[in-house]
Structure 1
Amino acid sequence: MVGVCRERSVGKLDGFKGHITVIPGATNDREVIKKAVEGCDGVLTVLVPWGVHQYSSGTVQAVLDYARPGARLIFSCGWHITRDGQDVYSRTFILGVKAIGWIARMLRAVDIDDQVEACRRIFSSNTRWTVVRGSDLEEGESQGLPVWSRHVGDPVLASNITRRVDFALFMVAALENDELIHEAPAIVGCRTPSALAIKTGS
């Protein structure tokens, strides 16, 4: 196993020495990604919208260019990404995303639009991709594999919360789930009220 980590954070992974090879560097550094994905059957990528220098789209392009043909590529981002325009967002959600995006760009801290561009590149590629779209996240022990829907606005997603560890669990499970190839599942915790309501039919 190989992981890419910011140089200043490499020490946090000392507990995994011997189990994972850590390559220090930025994920939008093409040479770093080329080295990291060489020979890999699966690649997990978090689309981070840091800065205003195309961090997400740069990361995606490097993965698309250097991952071996046929590799399973799993990407993650938020609900604000839409694949087919059929997602239904509340007015509060839309205003919140716009406000955060505008403030973040003014501060040159985050570029949400670059995540949109990154996903556009993924959706138009002929690779074996999945884009996992996460709800709000919370800490805590695993509740199990999240449930998902093709579109935000589905009642099962109404609780809008997932344990952080379960988000990661879903991404790992997607590596072996061919039903998720060319899907952009929006996920929510399996024990949230909205998920349980759908399961019980109430």
Structure 2
Amino acid sequence: MPTTPEHDTTQPMRVCIVGASGKLGHYMIRHCLERGYEVVSVCRPESVAKLDEFADRIEIIPGRTDDRDVIARAVAGCDGVLTVLVPWGVHNYSTGTAQAVLDLAEPDARLVFSCGWHISRDGLDRYSWKLRYAVPIVSHLARWARFVDIDDQVRATRRIFDSDTRWTVVRGSDLEEGDSQGLPVWSRHVGDPILASNRTRRIDFALFMVAALTDDELVREAPAINGCATESARAHEHLVSAGGAE
């Protein structure tokens, strides 16, 4: 298992958040600032105003997240990069974003990416019939409308899984709003009993992303997460270990 390089504790961790203007991005910014981290954020130019509440505390770099020049500027000198993989449009937006981060981040940086449960690293995930049927239908309709390309997120994560960087891919369950319940539980495969509730507070999804920056156990893992206060998490809490539920 790769080890975490020494971090100069006299200097605050510098974190880049790619795709910072959405709800998940906002929560990640707050969690990072609470930890005293320096934050650099990237968002599309038309979304910069959404970050006004943080404007005096973070560096904001406007630009498309798949623009390699924008990413190169944003990740320079960063100890960690948190990336929201959003498959906008039909032009490989997620794939371009992931590849730019993989190529241009500092060699020892921790790279943490977000996606949904539909992503599978090893093909051993066990999905409900609803998810098995819904994803292809939604994917086809969304691509037909040229709105999003869910397969683009699949391609993006395959590139991440093949990378020798210090990555983590966090696979989120269904999200809800609400106050934080604490750090979500995780397991390596969708279908494991601890994940059955399939529900996580969005603020806690962000919490898991930020916590992964300093968790060696998550290097080159693709944890599927579920809220720690859900029925299935409480019922199977005895299965939780430092390496996730089995």
TM over 0.5: same fold? yes
Q: Structure 1 residue 194 and structure 2 residue 211: aligned?
A: no
In structure 1, the residue matched to 2:195 is: 157
In structure 1, the residue matched to 2:205 is: 167
Q: How far apart are residue 83 of structure 1 and its match?
A: 0.4
1:106-146 alpha-carbon deviations (Å, 9 max, x no partner)? 10111111111101100001000000000010111111000
Provide TM-score, normalisation by structure 1: 0.97
Distance (whole Å) between structure 2 residues aligned to residue 62 and residue 178 of structure 1:
23
Distance (whole Å) between structure 2 residues aligned to residue 167 and residue 200 of structure 1:
21
Distance (whole Å) between structure 1 residues aligned to residue 169 and residue 226 of structure 2:
14
2:124 to 58, 64, 86: 86
**Partner AA of 2:82 in structure 1:** L
In structure 2, the residue matched to 1:21 is: 59
Number of corresponding residues? 201
In structure 2, the residue matched to 1:119 is: 157
In structure 2, the residue matched to 1:178 is: 216
Q: Structure 1 residue 32 and structure 2 residue 59: aligned?
A: no
Q: How far apart are residue 189 of structure 1 and its match?
A: 0.4
Distance (whole Å) between structure 2 residues aligned to residue 199 and residue 58 of structure 1:
38
Q: How far apart are residue 199 of structure 1 and its match?
A: 2.1
Q: Structure 1 residue 63 and structure 2 residue 101: aligned?
A: yes
Distance (whole Å) between structure 2 residues aligned to residue 9 and residue 157 of structure 1:
34
Q: RMSD between aligned alpha carbons?
A: 1.0
Alignment of 1:95-110 (within 5 A): 95-110=133-148
2:83 to 38, 41, 45: 45
**Partner AA of 2:229 in structure 1:** R
Distance (whole Å) between structure 2 residues aligned to residue 104 and residue 54 of structure 1:
14
Q: How far apart are residue 10 of structure 1 and its match?
A: 1.1
SS of equivalent to 1:73: strand
Unaligned runs of 5+ in 1: none
Unaligned runs of 5+ in 2: 1-38, 240-246
**Partner AA of 2:120 in structure 1:** T
In structure 2, the residue matched to 1:77 is: 115
Q: How far apart are residue 18 of structure 1 and its match?
A: 2.7
**Partner AA of 1:121 in structure 2:** R
Percent identity for Structure 1 against Structure 2? 69
In structure 2, the residue matched to 1:141 is: 179
Q: How far apart are residue 17 of structure 1 and its match?
A: 2.3
Distance (whole Å) between structure 2 residues aligned to residue 161 and residue 42 of structure 1:
27
Provide TM-score, normalisation by structure 2: 0.80
Distance (whole Å) between structure 1 residues aligned to residue 50 and residue 159 of structure 2:
32
Which runs of at least 4 in structure 1 moved beyond 3 Å after TM superposition?
none
Which one is further off, 73-82 or 6-15? Answer: 6-15
Distance (whole Å) between structure 1 residues aligned to residue 182 and residue 54 of structure 2:
23
